[in-house]
């Protein structure tokens, strides 16, 4: 399972970088989204994938018996997803406005004056 996730993360990073190096703004955005998702998956994977239960302390006990899923990691990813969503939404609006102002979606058409 870890190997599968590792390969998926690698593919996402590589694909994202490839898309960012294309010459249009839309692909740039797709690339950014892919890299963001790759980072989130990486956080998830690096903290350890275990077949486990929710980290709830049973009645009468003082601690949780391992194995349990680390709730901190999930909180981190949730935060990162929300931030990534907001940032991407803004980037999308920005790209649209730039497209209207420049009259082209090509990065090479961005010239001074």
Is the Cβ of residue 31 or residue 54 nearer to another protein in the bound state? 31
3-state DSSP call for residue 106?
Answer: strand
Residues 6+ apart with CB under 8 A from 75: none
Asked if residues 47 and 70 have their Cβ atoms less than 8 Å apart, the reply is yes
Q: Is 8 in the site for another protein (CB under 8 A)?
A: no
Is the torsion defined by CA of 88, 93, 96, 100 positive or negative?
negative
CB of 75 to another protein, least distance (A): 9
Q: Is 43 in the site for another protein (CB under 8 A)?
A: yes
Distance (Å, whole) CA 104 – CA 86: 25
CB of 34 to another protein, least distance (A): 10
Residues interacting with another protein, by CB under 8 A?
20, 25, 28, 32, 35-36, 38-40, 42-48, 72-73, 76, 79-80, 83, 86-87, 90-91, 94-95, 97-98, 101-102, 107, 110, 112-113
């Amino acid at each position: 399972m870890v190997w599968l996730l590792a390969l998926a993360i690698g593919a996402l990073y590589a694909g994202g970088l490839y898309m960012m190096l294309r010459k249009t703004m839309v692909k740039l955005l797709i690339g950014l989204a892919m890299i963001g998702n790759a980072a989130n998956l990486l956080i998830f994977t690096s903290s350890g994938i275990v077949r486990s239960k929710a980290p709830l302390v049973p009645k009468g006990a003082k601690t949780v018996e391992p194995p349990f899923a680390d709730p901190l990691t999930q909180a981190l990813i949730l935060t990162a997803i929300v931030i990534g969503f907001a940032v991407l939404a803004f980037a999308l609006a920005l790209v649209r406005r730039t497209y209207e102002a420049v009259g082209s979606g090509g990065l090479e058409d961005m010239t001074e004056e």
